[in-house]
Amino acid sequence: MLKTVRIINKGLKGDITIPADKSISHRAVMFSAIAHGECQINNFSSGADCHSTLNIFKHLGTDIRFIDEKTLIINSNGKLKPSEVALDAGNSGTTTRLISGILAGQNFDSVIIGDNSLSKRPMKRIIEPLSLMGAKIESTNGCVPLKIYGTQLNGIEYSSQLSSAQVKSCILLAGLNASGKTTYHEPFLSRNHTEILLHYLGADIRVNKNSVIVYPSELTAKDIDVVGDISSAAFFIAAGLIVPNSSFVIKNVGINPTRSGIIDVVKRMQGEIYIRNTREVSGEQCADIMVCYTNNLKGCTIEGEDIPRLIDELPIIAVLASQAYGQTIVKNAEDLRNKESDRINCLVRELSKIGINITETPDGFVIEGKTKIKGDAELESYHDHRLAMSFYVAGLIAEKEIAINGFEWTNISFPEFEKLFAKLIAGGN
């Protein structure tokens, strides 16, 4: 689908409630499926990736039923059953990597498949530590399809060279069903939704800075309320800062410190952003966020421990940085090359088409601001939802229209995207 973006002249106004956090929605289903008892999950994500997780656990014998489109009931005895069909993870790397840790310790075999994009994403990063635990996994050149032969696992102590919540979660989930303790170390603290939710459901899990220890544990089902997704909110935060005359509130946003790097970067860039009504929901921190147009944004350097806290937000940060004075440098983000696309190369290639002064580096990019976005170009999304949504935001302030090829890929993570922008646009008119 080719999407033409409407240019905004009167600002974005009003308030919106951001959709459910996808990372937490994935985990809520997975962990409840292996917990004992019945629970209700409220504000479940409508994104296609989370429904891939949901469908996989239905195939694994979990009793799941919807009350409405965002509320579901899961009833489980803590055990899974072998699936009669291959488990289709669709486009979801989160589904594939996390569920591999669960399936590796079962008493049955499983096959995980995915779409063409997922089939190119690296899985050796989970296969290697799982193999150290005794797992038996066959892959296709280190990618899906994966054939997982369920077996008894042993706890290990593992030091990862990569700060990845998906790898960490995979090993911790495997550790729940292994003999002895499992210890995981990472260079910087990655998002910790797994640790929070496992603790909430009664796992014997202990955290010390960048290290986590989990012991064999049985989980007890509890109701879970899913907070709003800060990665989705990031597109609106950026739009509010760069679309003139904008001022609005984003409600119910998760502000977990391991995910809120976008907020810290905006403050570093001297953007007008305000955190209100902070509270705790099912173990997660949550708040309302007010954002206002800021004409004097300043460039900054983003590197090191910043990166795991905003890895998914870097494409929209690139658009934001194009409207800041001075230079913005992104370093240590080489894992962007292993997402739905090579996000570094693709981002640089497409943003350059619309006049943004961006230079590719091996582990990131450099942007020279403040530049006018020319528009009058057709941008390729590369089947990458975050690129498509970032280009949409750029189009809101372009001098001429921008067309985005493959915009339908936004439905993977954020089917409400255009509807929410339409509400804010209407509020400004």
Mean pLDDT by runs of 10 across the 429 residues of the chain is 80 96 97 98 93 97 96 97 98 96 98 94 96 97 97 98 95 97 96 97 97 98 98 97 97 97 98 98 97 98 95 96 98 86 92 97 95 94 93 96 93 88 90
DSSP 365-396: EEEEE-------EEEE-TT-HHHHHHHHHHHT
**Are both 191 and 327 inside the same structural domain?**
no
The answer to whether the beta carbons of residues 66 and 136 sit under 8 Å apart is no
**Are both 29 and 41 inside the same structural domain?**
yes
pLDDT of residue 8: 80
**Are both 12 and 133 inside the same structural domain?**
no
CATH number of domain containing 336? 3.65.10.10
Q: How many domains does the chain have?
A: 2
Between the alpha carbon of residue 342 and those of residues 119, 288, 319, 321, 385, the distances in Å are 14, 33, 17, 20, 13
Could you list the active site residues?
Answer: 312
**Are both 172 and 288 inside the same structural domain?**
no
pLDDT of residue 428: 78
**Are both 144 and 8 inside the same structural domain?**
no
**Are both 196 and 232 inside the same structural domain?**
no
> Of the candidates 183, 210, 225, which is a domain's last residue?
225
**Are both 162 and 255 inside the same structural domain?**
no
> Domain limits at 250?
2-20+227-428
**Are both 309 and 424 inside the same structural domain?**
yes
pLDDT of residue 52: 96
**Are both 231 and 369 inside the same structural domain?**
yes
Whole-number average pLDDT of the chain: 95
**Are both 199 and 346 inside the same structural domain?**
no
DSSP label of 106: S
pLDDT of residue 423: 96
**3-class SS shares of the chain: helix, strand, coil, % to 5:** 35, 30, 35
> Of the candidates 184, 210, 225, which is a domain's last residue?
225
**Are both 238 and 314 inside the same structural domain?**
yes
pTM of structure? 0.90
> Of the candidates 195, 225, 255, which is a domain's last residue?
225
**Are both 149 and 259 inside the same structural domain?**
no
